[in-house]
Amino acid sequence: MQMLQSLDKIVFFIYFLIVAIYGWWIYRRKKAVQTNSKDYFLAEGALTWWAIGASLIASNISAEQMIGMSGSGFLLGLAISTYEWMAAATLVIVAIFFIPVYLKNKIYTMPQFLSQRYNDKVAMIMAIFWLALYIVVNLMSILYLGALAVSGISGLNINLCIFLLAGFSIIITLGGMKVIGYTDVIQVFFLILGGLVATYIALNLVAEKSGQHGLLAGFKILTKDAPDHFHMIFKKDSPNYVSLPGLTVLIGGMWIVNLNYWGCNQYITQRALGADLKTARSGILYAAFLKLLMPVIVVLPGIGAYVLYQKGMFHTEMLSSSGVVDVNKAYPNLMTLLPDGFKGLAFAALTAAIVASLAGKANSIATIFTLDIYKKAINRNADEKHLVTTGKITVIVSMLLAILMSLVIGEKLMGEGKQGFNYIQEYTGFVSPGIFAMFILGFFWKRTTSNAALFATIGGFVMSCVLKFLPSWGVDLSWLTPYGFYQPNFANGGKYEIPFLDRMGFVFLFCIAGMAVINFVENRRGIQNKGMVVDTSMFRVSKGFAVGALIICALLITLYTVYW
C-alpha cells in the first residue's frame, strides 16, 4: 500500500500549522474566555452565522461519516445519503421551531431545559445519560474509526494514532468554544476541499479503468456498473433492508434520528445557543446547504471504491486480514491511490473532520458535567474561574476514557465486517426516541408532567432493549415479516430482528402514548406543570430564510425523485 510521501507530509504539516497558529491567535485575542463559563463553553455572542454553520458541519462530519458512511456507501450505495439529505430538511425545522424556544427561554444546555421545563431530577438523570452516551458511543467511536483511517493511510500503529488524535483534540478543546468555532471554519475548508479531491480522483480512476476519462464519464460508469447502489429506497427483499427499511427513511424513524440529533443534542445545538435568533437561523440554514453536498464527499468515494474493488484495483487483502471485507477500510484504501500532494490534502481533510468532531464532543461533555452536574450537585458555590478549570479537567478525563475504550473494545464493536456508522446510529437509538418524545411534548404541550418525562427517558430505553433482544429470547415475530418489520440482519449472522429505524419509531410512539396517559391522570389530580415561554410570533422567519428553505425542499424532492 502506498503511504504518505514527503510532499504529502509537507501539505499535512501546513494544515496543522495553520490550524494551530490560528487557534492560538483566537485564544490570545479572546483571553477573557478563560474567566467566564458561558464565554468558555458557548462563545456567547462571538460566533458569526458562517462560523456557526461551519462549526455545525465540522463537528458533525467526522470519522463516522468519512470512514463509516463511506464504508456504508461501499456496501449499501447512495441510500445511506438519506442521513445527510434528511438532515438538511431537519435543520430547517430546528431553525424554525426549536432554536426560538431555546433562545427565548435563555437555554444554554439541554439538561437546563429539562430542569426549567420539568424538574432537577429529570435533568440530572438525563445529564448522566448524555455523558455516558457521548463518551461510550460517540467519542470512542469517532476516535477509533479515525485512528483506523489515519493508521491505514500513514502506516502508523493504530494505538499511536489514537493517542495523537486525542492529544490534538484536547489542545483545541482547552481553548474553549471560540477557538473550536473559528478553527472549525478552517477545518471545514480542508474537509470539503480534500473530500472533493478524493471524489474527483475516485471518479477519474473508475473512468480510466474503463478506458475513458473525466468526472461525468466516471459517474456514468458508476451508475452502469453498480445500478443497485443508486436507489434511495430499499425494497423488502433487499439484503440491506434491515439497515434502511424502505419508506421509514422518509416517514418513520429517520425523522427521530435527525430531529433528536439536530434539535435535542447539546453537542450540536451548543453552536447556536450563544447567538441571537437571526444569526443562529442563518448559520443553521448555511449548514443545511452544506449537508446537501456531503454525500458527494463521503458517499460517492465509497461507491467508487466498490466499483474499483469489483474491477480488481483493490485486492481483498487490502480490505481484510481475515477474508471478510471490512467496509471501514474502503475510504483509507482509496486515499492511498491519490497522487502525491493530493494524498496529503485528503489526509488533512480526514484529520480535520476527526479532530473537529472530537473537540466539539469533548466541549459538550465538559459543558454538561460542569454546568449541570458539578455546579448543581457537587459545588454550588464554585466561581467562574473554577468552573472553567473544572471544564478543562473534564475534557482531559473524558478523552482518556475514550482512549481506554478504543484500545479495549473498539475493534470488537467496529472491526472487520461491521459498519461503524450503523453501530453509532443503532446504539444512539436506544435513548433518542424517549429523549425526543420528552422534548417535543415539553415544547408544545404545557400539560406534560415531569413523571411523564421520566417515563419517556427510562421506559423508552427499556422498551428499546426489549425490542432489540426479543428474537434472542426466542420470541417468534415472524408474523411481522410480510410488513417489513422483522428482517434478516446479514451483518449479524442473518438473524432476524426488527430494523433499528423501525424500532425507534415503535419506541417513540410507545413513549408518546405512555406520556399522554400519565399526563391525563396527573392533570386530573391537579399536579402543576412548568411550561416554556412559547408564542407563534417566535416561529416567523425572514424572507431570505424562507427562500433558502424552499430551495432546500425543492432540491430534496428532486434528488429523491431521480434516485428513488
Span 452-504, pLDDT tens digits: 999 998 999 999 888 888 777 766 666 666 666 666 665 555 567 788 888 88
Helix ranges (DSSP H) in 455-562: 460-469, 500-524, 543-562
Is it the case that residue 548 has pLDDT exceeding 90? yes
- Domains defined for the chain, CATH in brackets: 6-19+45-428+534-562 (1.20.1730.10)
Grid cell locating 61: 462530519
Cell numbers describing residue 268: 450540536
- In this structure, of 10-24, 33-47, 205-219, 236-250, the range with the lowest mean pLDDT score is 33-47
- List the single range of 38-47, 290-299, 400-409 with lowest mean pLDDT: 38-47
pLDDT of residue 316: 47
User: Nearest 5 degrees, angle CA 90-CA 96-CA 97?
Assistant: 90
Find where cell 421509514 sits. 248
Please give the Cα distance from 274 to 468 (Å, whole number).
Answer: 38
Using DSSP, state whether 543 is helix, strand or coil. helix
Which pLDDT value is given to residue 547? 95
- The helix/strand/coil state of 383 is coil
Mean of all residue pLDDT scores within the chain: 80
- Residue 99 identity (one-letter amino acid): I
Q: Where are the beta strands (DSSP E) in 171-256?
A: none
Position 511 scores a pLDDT of 94
Minimum mean pLDDT range among 223-227, 248-252, 496-500, 531-535 = 531-535
Distance CA(234)–CA(435), nearest Å, equals: 28
Cell of 73: 456507501
Max avg pLDDT among 68-82, 279-293, 329-343: 279-293
| pLDDT of 515 | 93
C-alpha torsion sign, points 48, 350, 296, 228: negative
Please check whether residue 174 is in contact with residue 181, taking contact to mean a CB–CB distance below 8 angstroms.
no
What separation in angstroms does the CA of 547 have from each of 31, 84, 544, 551?
39, 20, 5, 6
Residue 196 has which C-alpha cell?
472533493
- Kindly report the length of the chain: 564
- Supply the DSSP symbol for 370: I
Q: State the pLDDT at residue 33.
A: 44
